[in-house]
Amino acid sequence: QSVLTQPPSMSGTPGQRVTISCSGSTSNIGTNSVNWYQQVPGGTPKLLIFGNTQRPSGVPDRFSGSKSGTSASLAISGLQSEDEATYYCVVWDNNLMGLFGGGTKLTVL
Amino acid sequence: EVHLVESGGGLIQPGRSLRLSCAASGFTFNEYAIHWVRQVPGKGLEWVSGISWNSGSKGYAGSVQGRFTISRDNARNSVYLQMDGLQSEDTALYYCVKDQDEFRWQWLALDSWGQGTLVTVSS
């Protein structure tokens, strides 16, 4: 069981907006920046959001990140079929280690 | 173009040791932190260990602390993961991963991933 809590699965229809949550504590999300990754089946993870809210070049602005207190969120607007993937939050913990959330499998209906 | 190529995986008996290597190219290696992340096929990602650009800082997941040792050789553009006392729970695909920003530690914006090397711990 991961220290960072994400919902195991979510679903949405094309065009919908979905929000994936990531809950941590004061030793990780509360003090450090959160990053988000997308992993499609059979692929390697792709950096989607870094520094809580920033998008690497090439990532559509449909993807956005936010953080408040000890929780963070990834929002996907205008859901598309290619967004079907597993999404992970990642953050450094002040106990000198990195942490991944358990992952959220997003299904586009 | 950034390339990270892992090697050293294989089938190993419980309690034995294995050394993973990661050969890097396409960027100024001695400016970036490198991490190892593992994934059991069909399961989630787990951060295993990381090392700063100058080896001044290192970190380990609680599950491997005291058994795994990370190191790097900037002259050879390589990172290593020495894995001792292997357990069945260490069976996974091990990825070598580069941090996005130079001279940052505790950042974990991992922008380049290798294809991974599979470690199977079984008798």
Q: Report which residue type is found at B114.
A: G
Rounded to whole angstroms, the Cα distance separating A78 from A63 reads 9
Query: What pLDDT score was predicted for residue A1?
Result: 64
Q: For the segment B24-64, what is each residue's pLDDT rounded down to a tens digit? A: 999 999 999 999 999 999 999 999 999 999 999 999 999 99
Structure tokens at A32: 């450090």
- Per-residue pLDDT band for B71 (boundaries 50, 70, 90) equals very high
**Is A102 at the interface with chain B, CB within 8 A?**
yes
Instruction: Please classify residue A96 by burial: count the beta carbons closer than 10 Å to its beta carbon, then call 0-12 exposed, 13-18 middle and 19+ buried.
Output: middle
Structure tokens at B18: 């294995």
Chosen for mutation from A93, A97, A99 (greatest number of chain B CBs closer than 10 Å) is: A97
Structure tokens at B11: 């089938």
- What integer best gives the mean pLDDT of chain B? 97
Going through chain A in order, the beta strands assigned E by DSSP cover 9-12, 18-23, 34-39, 46-49, 63-68, 71-76, 85-93, 97-100, 104-108
3 state SS of B111: strand
Chosen for mutation from B47, B52, B102 (greatest number of chain A CBs closer than 10 Å) is: B47
Q: For the segment A13-58, what is each residue's pLDDT rounded down to a tens digit? A: 999 999 999 999 999 999 999 999 999 999 999 999 999 999 999 9
Residue with token string 């979510």: A10
- Per-residue pLDDT band for B13 (boundaries 50, 70, 90) equals very high
Strands B92-99, B58-60: parallel, antiparallel or unpaired by DSSP? unpaired
Q: Report which residue type is found at B63.
A: S
**Is B45 at the interface with chain A, CB within 8 A?**
yes
Query: What pLDDT score was predicted for residue B43?
Result: 95
B81 close to B23: Cβ distance less than 8 angstroms: no
**Is B73 at the interface with chain A, CB within 8 A?**
no
B21 close to B5: Cβ distance less than 8 angstroms: no
Rounded to whole angstroms, the Cα distance separating A101 from B15 reads 29
Residue with token string 């650009």: B53
Rounded to whole angstroms, the Cα distance separating B110 from B45 reads 13
